[in-house]
Structure 1
Amino acid sequence: MSDNRITFFLDGEPCSAQPGQTILQAAQPHQAIPHLCCSDRPGFKSDGNCRACVVEIEGERALAPSCRREVSEGMRVNSAGSERVQRNRARLLELLVSDLPNGRSSEEHQQLHHWAGALGVSHSRFPGGDAQFDDLSHSAIRVNHSACINCQLCRQACQDLQVNRVIGLSGRGTEARIGFDLDDPLGDSTCVACGECVQACPTGALLPAAPLSRQPVEQRVHSICPYCGVGCQLEYQVSNDRIIAVDGRSGPSNEGRLCVKGRFGFDYINHADRLRVPLVRREDAPPKGAPFDPAERDRYFREASWEEALERACEGLVRLKHQHGASALAGLGSAKGSNEEAYLFQKLVRTGFGSNNVDHCTRLCHASSVAALLEGIGSGAVTASFMQVVNAEVAIVIGCNPESNHPVAANLFKQAARNGTQLVVIDSRGHSLREHASHLLQLTPGSDVALLNAMLHVIIRESLYDHRFVAERLEGFDALQAHLDDYSPEAMAPLCGIDAERIREVARLFARAERAMIFWGMGISQHTHGTDNVRCLIALALLCGQVGRPGTGLHPLRGQNNVQGASDAGLIPMMLPDYQRVDNAEARARFEQLWQSPLAAQPGLTVVEMIDAIHHDQIRGMYIMGENPAMSDPDLNHSRQALARLEHLVVQDLFITETAAYADVILPASAWPEKSGTVTNTNRQVQLGRPAVSLPGQCRQDWWIIQAIAQGMGLDWAYPGPEAIYREMQQAMPSLTHIDRERLERENSVTYPCPTPDGEGTDVLFADRFPTASGKARLVAATLLPPDETCDSQYPLILSTGRLLEHWHTGAMTRRSRVLDTLEPGAIVCAHPLTLREWKLQAGEAVRVESRRGAMKALLRADEAVPPGSLFIPFCFAEGAANLLTNPKLDPFGKIPEFKYCAVRLAPTPPPNSLD
């Protein structure tokens, strides 16, 4: 590298630079050059239109923008040492400042204010800037056109990085300014409030709307986003022990980008509903099954000291264990916390409760994916990161809506499509990613196996599969080939609603690609045949040799920030940490020695099985940390009746959630910005979160509470903090080898597996062999199975549930964020306009949706993405809980409920005073 370096002179001093570097980049280690219209973040290009960075190049008459000119050997550049350059920069800054209100800059104007101060420009002598042209129409972002200098960084952020195409330029000459869509107010535009324009803006023309964001920043803390599985790195900006704003950092999965939740959804930690002291149920409280009114909390609970709350929590658990045995207790842990907390929680259940009755939300999202992946390739993790999509010729995105559920990953998909990757979107519901797709297959709900088997049929019949890969690295080919004889595109087309030739076209496209990837979400996994769906996807990738190389792989997109890490840590009923089966005597003996405790050999109960076991008096006590089954489980009437039936329930959470309302003891927990710990994202990247603010009131760290419960049950735990827990995890989990806590402090993110102490982790897995006994992967055939429940004349519509961009999981956090709840403030039912016409209903009308299990109310929204004859309901709204309707029938392998298909009907909501 040193042989290629060139030498140039900066204010007479020799400097070294890489070929291709601009003067601005090369000068950066030696001298700060003012600049406004370019960014150091990946993805931005320099337009050179602000002219703040001009320099003098000897031999040239005109000043040159240093952000656009590349250095060359022997070039002599005059910058800070040139009076002419400094005078021009100061005059330019003065002209820009003149457009600001009162001709003065303030800290609100960010980089412009900084550089004006550096050049001694306190105010402008030029006229202009008295009027502000504010656009206050958006709840998240404030627009001040008078501060805009038309640098176009916001346009680049919106169009090039996010590929959202909302921001452009309107007007001409001196009337030119940034505009949104067709020059609409921002609040009326198609803006998704990712805030990338805010982060890019150098002048404060675009700012967070929250007044707190305009306070001086006292501290900047690097951490991880607490929402989806993308694992975006971010920077908390703190003032007076409160988070006032959030910016993206250049982490491996987000490259500085965030979505609306990560950037604006942080204020839930200060909400008035936040638990700040332990609570215990009053002896004279209404029955647990009675409606709970948060405004009358004191009717149900009273405040207690930590000593009393812990004593009561542990006494109830110990008593039930002694009376009814270890199987009478169960625990639900959280994928919203850290790896250390998940590890401690499952260890408590296994060594303190004495059973394997422990689970978490992966059971409700990707349990079938993990079951099929373990069966087929010997590992439940993704085989390659989603960043590999940029190396793929073809990418299938099936049964997921990344723009709502994984927005930053979706931006990468859109960029890849723009740069030549052929994006194949397969879903029963349309979504905005289809605008970037080369192929869109909108299949009949529940017909994934029919479509995928037809594609596999084409690939085998036309001999498009990778013959060498099949011969050397796979088992079960002959059985799969024979099975697929009956699954021709012509036979499957009527079932899946896709034309036979279209099926052939997509099958050939995938098979002939040099590099191809498959991404999927809960539209694949949340079915009674979800494991079969994933088996088909695995077969599709393996037959075509699309595993083990850059730009290839299988990737189930994880929903919560630590679903991958919590599963790795053993927060599942049939697996010890690192997916060692509890009925494997050798693995069990190793953990018994490490934990100095006997362990149960019988796999435990899953989430939905626990609910059924409560109804049968098999489970009598539960400890629930950060989960909300009273909102997230299917058939909520059944689940809520079970929670009310429990003899003893301990809940550890941030708020009195719908689940906590049934508790006997509520323990106030720590929010993610208040804690230290690691999380593992969907890419297998282990990342470090750091505390930004103090715990409020009497809240305690979650690991401390788990340890206190363990001590109350007779375990001699004495962990001093998360660091000690992580060290034990490394002993228990080979996947964390070479990923020391100290290394994470330095590097923030390391991908597992990591073969060397200082080397990079392994992004793309299974280049040579699979982690199975034979080293080969296994092809497993999938037969056609209908959804458990079909439509009829009484319930003629198909219901699917899912997430919204602005909200997350059961809404416990995002419904308490001002910006997010303002953007999507209440329960909705989405239906195609044709469905509304058929049912003689109008958008905006209040309706009642009924299934065979329950009913809920919400407002109708017309949505052409929902196919006619179907409904889509987000499950985040407590006042219109979608899971009152859903079917608890389980996939026999992954034990996941069928959230994506149940039969429902619509009815207008009765008048308020009528009988309901």
Structure 2
Amino acid sequence: MISFSINGSRCQAEEGTTILEAARARGISIPTLCYLKGVSDIGSCRMCMVEAKGFDMLLPACRTKAADGMEITTESERLTDYRKNMLKLILSNHNQDCMSCPANGTCELQKLCNEYGVERAEHKGNRVKIEKKLPLLDDNPYISYDPSKCIHCQRCINVCHRIACNGAIKSGRLGNFHIVEAPFGENYKETGCESCGNCASVCPTGAIVLKREKNYREWEVKKVRTTCPHCATGCQLDLVVKEGRIVNVESADGPANHRRLCVKGRNGSFDFVHAADRLKKPLIKDRSTGMFREATWEEAISYTAKRFLEIREKYGCDSLAGFACSRSSNEDVYMVQKMVRTCFGTNTTDNCARVCHSASVAGLAKTLGSGAMTNPIYDITHDVDAILLVGSNPEEAHPVIGMQIRKAVKNGTKLIVVDPRNIGLSGQADIHLKLRPGTNVAFANGMMHVMIEEDLIDHEYIEKYVEGFEELKKLVAEYTPERVGEICHIDPDMLREAARMYACAKKAPIIYCLGVTEHSTGTEGVMSLSNMAAICGKIGRSGCGVNPLRGQNNVQGACDMGAMSTDYPGYQKVDNEAVRKKFEKAWGVPLNPKPGLRATEVFPAAIEGKIKGLYICGEDPMVSDPDTHHIIKAMESLEFLVVQDLFMTKTAEYADVILPAKSFAEKEGTFTNTERRVQRIRTAVTLDGEMRSDTDILIDLMNAMGYPQPYLTPAQIMDEIAELTPSYHGISYERLDAGELLQWPCPEKDHPGTPIMHAAGPVRGKVLLYPARFKEAQELPDEEYPFILMTGRILYHYNAFSQTSRSPGLMDLAGEGFIELNFRDAERMGVRSGDMVRVSSRRGTITARARVGRKVSAGETWMPFHFPDSPVNMITNAALDEFARIPEYKVCAVKLEKA
């Protein structure tokens, strides 16, 4: 610690603290324009100059470290005159059209000029001479750059390079003048800019702005803190509301995003809320004509209840099923599964985790005792020595996590990418194992072979916390690097190096996603990664663990809430008599003791005539599930289908009743993000129409079916969840609204939550090592279908496309499906980038525009699943994993022809 004075007051601070940091820690204001904590400290604006005894010259507070015995003055006549002159110099090169500027009211330059009484510059600067050479850049659909208002603070450059870590904005020169080279001109699609808007969020003037900021002024709006409705990163943001309409999104300092947002979070979170094609009234289909007609809520609820009860009476409880939505709130999902169990009388309830991360839930629950991410996002992306990234493309699927991984690599973290494609991060990786699709188990066994053979394992952890080591050791002995190299099509020496890099790193998390889970051996792939972490002692420690990045905003919460055919809320098993009795007592009815069908089993059961009635809240299996023809046949086989949604989705078209719901911005609730953090969503707008919150619809429906469900607010529903769910017992709206950051398990009302799982030992007592033999994918290339097709997500769209497709800017950035081809395959077929390609599997044929390059290996292809013009799930394979019944999206055999 050092001791010094500021404005005559004695201060103490840690050595290395800057004068600005020390002053602000004591509530002393020093003006700045270029400085932004953690982003920029270049000291170019000179507004933060201070006096210090013994120094003739003024010192920049943002860059000068306080020294022992220093006597600092932050306000004086000399400093005021200096700051006024600096403001005049800045204004001499600044376009002062303040009244029409989008930043009017938020401009930091304007605020300081008002504070210091500076109205205008005393002369014209050099910039006016080159204004014609620095045109307004306004082609990007979201962001514009006006060089005439730029003050060269370089915040935008630094946030792009140091926080988003993309490097799309650069510093340049025009003669002796510094300029910002912004990527928002007519070639914006080719610049590498991700349109995340983080640059606009830190601009102190109106130089870089979001175009929609022109439509309001700060004093005209209110801001509502909520959670992003897209991926499960759980970014915190503010919805900006003017006259009952959301007009903008601003980033907030949440524990997962730290003021970052991606292009979807900043630009795709509200257009769909106000979309003209929102469902606004209940609809009932006339089966004789196939046409929908509008109905009152009373009629729709009464008719729906009557039909479900008739089916239950005629065919039995297990002829009904109900799906919850992983985009809905925890409270909505809880009420869906409660309705299915109390009113339908069955456990056949599920959510879209079945087709994305059910393998994680099943696999990690089996090996560790808890099927969730073990460590927080910040913990696995900051101060870690190495990251093992397997089957995950976070730059596109979880972009804010991708930004943090890029920053970690920039700061020296080693990166191992295991992926069949050249993703963005593979270009920054120390090692990229470009393995053959479907060979994850062989890869993991090969890594463990090297770790055991070279004695890179943690014997103490194995002895204390692991069971089944000898069986695993015997199995992986067969998986030499050479054998694994042949199976996976990778270099055996690179596999050895990757194993050493991961095992020897003090802090090294495994981060994975759907490239591991969406296989017919997905659960075994997950358990193999758990095996690897366990034998290296990287469980229950900071900067380590096994970390699935969950896909949708509340897919973790949907599983937590019991939207699973085998589990009540909190993963309490339906076939456990003591658990069942607890829920029977709480809910007041006998409950079915038999586990139900999984979602992927419901559709074949419908075709077979076993499932007669289906309730779907928010999901769109016609788009998101594999082998669409099989889904269509299932929908047509049902006697009664109810869809509760925001839009007339492909699935809703098959419904008998459609119930219009409210979006995340129109209701209260909570989401649980990928790191098990429970976060609030809040009502920002109330729209015209008869849309209702999911919980209100469900409560009406439950009562109409004869179950006496009291009307509860979302806060009261969370209280009920907490009473019945040990891991959520300490969570309440009161605590969340007070600003507490709670991650389950949170077992008591005063418990702070659990950031790192298994810190006191594995939840199940010991880690179960599961020896998994490599098995090939269910459908491999042959002479007729010689290519492997993989599917996935892209940066600009989200899941089933219903939300992001209603954002014109996102559609401008990426509005068409495509297929990636290796250049050698394309050359042999006579296909160039931009050509249309016919893609056929054993289940059908679609067309897509070709993108030719080196992202995929020869004999392999890749397509995004969002786009209706190339609906890839028409042709994917519905082969299922043995344990979780998850489909094998990542490997199916196709043939390609130039269209």
After TM superposition, is the score higher than 0.5?
yes
1:504-537 deviation line (CA, Å, top 9, x unaligned): 2222222222232211111110000111111211
Match of 1:546 in 2: 538
Matched ranges for 1:213-292 at <5 A:
214-216=216-218, 217-266=220-269, 267-282=271-286, 285-286=289-290
Q: Which moved more, 1:185-194 or 1:724-733?
A: 185-194
1:94 CA drift (Å): 3.2
1:199 CA drift (Å): 0.8
Q: Which moved more, 1:340-349 or 1:668-677?
A: 668-677
1:19 CA drift (Å): 5.5
1:848 CA drift (Å): 2.0
Give the conservation status (yes or no) of the 8 Å contact 1:526–1:899. yes
Match of 2:32 in 1: 35
Unaligned 5+ runs, structure 1: 287-299, 910-916
Matched ranges for 1:293-372 at <5 A:
300-372=291-363
In 2: Cα distance, 1:598 partner to 1:567 partner = 23
Match of 1:728 in 2: 720
> Which amino acid in the other structure matches residue 94 of structure 1?
K
1:25 equivalenced with 2:21 (yes/no): yes
Match of 1:291 in 2: none
Give the conservation status (yes or no) of the 8 Å contact 1:229–1:558. yes
Alignment CA distance shift 1:34-1:391 (3 Å) = closer
In 1: Cα distance, 2:123 partner to 2:813 partner = 40
1:379 equivalenced with 2:370 (yes/no): yes
1:791 CA drift (Å): 0.9
Match of 1:205 among 201, 204, 207: 207
Match of 1:84 in 2: 78
1:72 CA drift (Å): 4.9
Match of 2:515 in 1: 523
In 2: Cα distance, 1:181 partner to 1:199 partner = 16
Matched ranges for 1:843-858 at <5 A:
843-858=833-848
Match of 1:293 in 2: none
Give the conservation status (yes or no) of the 8 Å contact 1:397–1:423. yes
Match of 2:877 in 1: 887
Task: Please state whether the residue corresponding to 1:34 is helix, strand or coil.
Answer: coil
Count how many residue pairs are aligned between Structure 1 and Structure 2. 887
Match of 1:155 in 2: 157
1:63 equivalenced with 2:58 (yes/no): yes
1:60 CA drift (Å): 3.4
Give the conservation status (yes or no) of the 8 Å contact 1:36–1:202. yes
Give the conservation status (yes or no) of the 8 Å contact 1:527–1:896. yes
Task: Please state whether the residue corresponding to 2:41 is helix, strand or coil.
Answer: coil
Match of 2:89 among 83, 92, 95: 95
1:545 CA drift (Å): 0.9
In 2: Cα distance, 1:834 partner to 1:888 partner = 29
> Which amino acid in the other structure matches residue 604 of structure 2?
D
In 2: Cα distance, 1:356 partner to 1:444 partner = 38
Give the conservation status (yes or no) of the 8 Å contact 1:332–1:607. yes
Give the conservation status (yes or no) of the 8 Å contact 1:833–1:862. yes
1:827 equivalenced with 2:817 (yes/no): yes
Task: Please state whether the residue corresponding to 2:229 is helix, strand or coil.
Answer: coil
CA RMSD, 1 decimal: 2.2
1:113 equivalenced with 2:113 (yes/no): no
Match of 1:193 among 188, 192, 195: 195
Normalising by the residue count of structure 2, what TM-score does the alignment of the two structures yield? 0.95
1:810 CA drift (Å): 0.7
Q: Which moved more, 1:22-31 or 1:390-399?
A: 22-31
Identity %: 38
In 2: Cα distance, 1:333 partner to 1:571 partner = 6
Alignment CA distance shift 1:690-1:173 (3 Å) = farther
Give the conservation status (yes or no) of the 8 Å contact 1:688–1:749. no
1:863 CA drift (Å): 4.0
Match of 1:595 in 2: 587
In 2: Cα distance, 1:443 partner to 1:77 partner = 60
1:139-168 deviation line (CA, Å, top 9, x unaligned): 121111111111111111111111111111
Alignment CA distance shift 1:523-1:9 (3 Å) = closer
In 2: Cα distance, 1:168 partner to 1:114 partner = 27
> Which amino acid in the other structure matches residue 345 of structure 1?
V
1:103 CA drift (Å): 6.0
Match of 1:47 among 42, 50, 54: 42
Matched ranges for 1:384-403 at <5 A:
384-389=375-380, 390-403=382-395
Normalising by the residue count of structure 1, what TM-score does the alignment of the two structures yield? 0.93
1:78 CA drift (Å): 4.1
> Which amino acid in the other structure matches residue 313 of structure 1?
T
1:771 CA drift (Å): 2.1
Alignment CA distance shift 1:817-1:388 (3 Å) = same
1:687 equivalenced with 2:690 (yes/no): no
In 1: Cα distance, 2:91 partner to 2:305 partner = 64
Matched ranges for 1:435-450 at <5 A:
435-450=427-442
In 2: Cα distance, 1:436 partner to 1:552 partner = 21
In 2: Cα distance, 1:17 partner to 1:692 partner = 42
In 2: Cα distance, 1:460 partner to 1:104 partner = 67
Give the conservation status (yes or no) of the 8 Å contact 1:687–1:748. no
Alignment CA distance shift 1:863-1:302 (3 Å) = farther
In 2: Cα distance, 1:312 partner to 1:863 partner = 55
Match of 1:664 in 2: 656
Q: Which moved more, 1:702-711 or 1:891-900?
A: 702-711
Alignment CA distance shift 1:429-1:185 (3 Å) = closer
In 2: Cα distance, 1:808 partner to 1:394 partner = 29
1:183 CA drift (Å): 9.7
Give the conservation status (yes or no) of the 8 Å contact 1:444–1:496. yes
Q: Which moved more, 1:625-634 or 1:711-720?
A: 711-720
1:476 CA drift (Å): 1.0
1:73 CA drift (Å): 5.9
In 1: Cα distance, 2:309 partner to 2:600 partner = 24
Alignment CA distance shift 1:756-1:718 (3 Å) = closer
Alignment CA distance shift 1:118-1:306 (3 Å) = farther
Match of 1:296 in 2: none
Give the conservation status (yes or no) of the 8 Å contact 2:533–2:546. yes
Give the conservation status (yes or no) of the 8 Å contact 1:137–1:187. no
In 1: Cα distance, 2:857 partner to 2:663 partner = 39
1:127 equivalenced with 2:127 (yes/no): no
Match of 2:774 in 1: 784
> Which amino acid in the other structure matches residue 140 of structure 1?
Y
Match of 1:741 in 2: 733
1:258-303 deviation line (CA, Å, top 9, x unaligned): 11111111211111111222222245533xxxxxxxxxxxxx3222
Unaligned 5+ runs, structure 2: none
Alignment CA distance shift 1:87-1:710 (3 Å) = same
Task: Please state whether the residue corresponding to 1:395 is helix, strand or coil.
Answer: strand
Give the conservation status (yes or no) of the 8 Å contact 1:137–1:188. no
Task: Please state whether the residue corresponding to 1:487 is helix, strand or coil.
Answer: coil
1:778 CA drift (Å): 0.8
1:556 equivalenced with 2:548 (yes/no): yes
1:580 CA drift (Å): 1.1
1:207-261 deviation line (CA, Å, top 9, x unaligned): 1133665543511211111111111111222212222222221111111111111
> Which amino acid in the other structure matches residue 279 of structure 1?
L
Task: Please state whether the residue corresponding to 2:255 is helix, strand or coil.
Answer: coil
Match of 1:710 in 2: 702
Match of 2:167 among 162, 165, 168: 165
Alignment CA distance shift 1:230-1:213 (3 Å) = farther
In 2: Cα distance, 1:803 partner to 1:182 partner = 24
1:830 CA drift (Å): 1.8
1:698 CA drift (Å): 1.6
1:800 CA drift (Å): 0.6
Task: Please state whether the residue corresponding to 1:280 is helix, strand or coil.
Answer: strand
Match of 2:562 in 1: 570
